[in-house]
Amino acid sequence: MIKPHGSDELNPLLVSDPAENEKLQNEANGLKSITVSSAAAANAVMLGGGYFNPLTGYMNKADILSVAQGMKTTSGLFWPTPVVNMVQDAGDLAAGDRIALKDPNVDGNPVVAVMDVEAIEELSGDEMVAVAEKIYGTADMEHPGVSAFMAAGNVALSGPIQVLNSSYFETDFGDTYKTAVEIRDEIKARGWNKVVAFQTRNPMHRAHEELCHMAMDRLGADGLVIHMLLGKLKAGDIPADVRDASIRKMVDIYFPENSAMVTGYGFDMLYAGPREAVLHAVFRQNMGATHLIVGRDHAGVGDYYTDFGAQEIFDEVPEGALELEIFAADHTAYSKKLDKVVMMREVEDHTKEDFVLLSGTAVREMLGNGEAPPKEFSRPEVAQILMDYYQSLDS
């Protein structure tokens, strides 16, 4: 099986031994505490599950700036985006403190992790803008990732953590949420060696489904891991439980047995385009995938990124920094001429009118009106789940 990023063995920070976990929980109750941002809590969950191997905690200022500037930590570890615990005010906290990190996303704000604070450092306004511009390609506050990054604060708390739980992900998405450790174990149990990962924050329409089949066929893959984001999204995106139901229905009907796993991970979407695509590659290697499908405008939002910037950035990844490879995909759509889904760049003698193309706005309007999109665009069983959701918004 493919090695994790940066180490021979996976290093999950979740304290999984029940007795040790209880002991840490009891200790946490007597520590100074802060309620962290949603992004910092999600980072703790990703560290806990082994997705952010080999990191041991939150980055300090020097590493934040180094990762933003050149995609590597000050120690030379390849890493594409800062993993941070940013606050607006550290209050009475000091370097050397051991503190409890409270979860903002669960009622009662239970402790999600315990942190040994090694440094408390302020980033200037210019430094915050510089980091945003490198990671998101913009400092525009209209960008949802930039807005969330700036809102969390400019004071970085750094140091190692021990993680107590997986926040709300394990309870709300018990059949879907999996740690990197659990996915590796399942890949091994299924006997897969070459494994393709598909990232999604949306329901999968016919073109997505066929793209997965194309990647598996062309790579000679043993299996596919459909790995959906379960954390915070921007307003208007479809909730995770609806996505989950629609994707599971598609896999049950249209994928052969033991060819696809439906799983999810606990992270807040960055919408960071190319940089986030590289982060996706890092943590998919950690979960055991050998390949990641990277399509047009992967992890993008609005018009902030070029169509294939998320593929081109992999040319900047130093040789040997990642073992995982990408499957570079074009926009896929149903060809009326060929009566099948194709990558648009791979077919000749086609005009735009030869494809079944629908805007997201048009699809949402159709679903909201109880009208299924054409079968060439969306499987009817998937469309029914989405129609039920959109119509429930009006009831």
Asked if the peptide bond before residue 374 counts as cis, ω within 30 degrees of 0, the response is no
Instruction: Name 393's Cβ contacts closer than 8 Å, sequence gap at least 6.
Output: 368
Query: Considering 201, 258, 275, 286, which one is annotated as catalytic?
Result: 201
Instruction: Name 310's Cβ contacts closer than 8 Å, sequence gap at least 6.
Output: 273, 274, 276, 277, 294, 295, 297, 298, 299, 300
Contact 276, 81 (CB under 8 A): yes
Query: Considering 11, 202, 248, 364, which one is annotated as catalytic?
Result: 202
Active site residue 201: yes
- The C-alpha atoms of residue 186 and residue 182 are separated, in whole angstroms, by 6
Active site residue 190: no
Beta strands in the chain (DSSP E): 32-35, 57-58, 86-87, 98-102, 111-116, 119-122, 155-163, 195-200, 223-229, 260-265, 291-294, 325-328, 332-335, 340-343, 355-356
CA distances (Å), 257 to each of 184, 190, 195, 224, 260, in order?
19, 11, 15, 11, 7
Beta strands in 170-210 (DSSP E): 195-200
- The C-alpha atoms of residue 65 and residue 74 are separated, in whole angstroms, by 9
> Could you give the residue numbers annotated as active site?
201-202
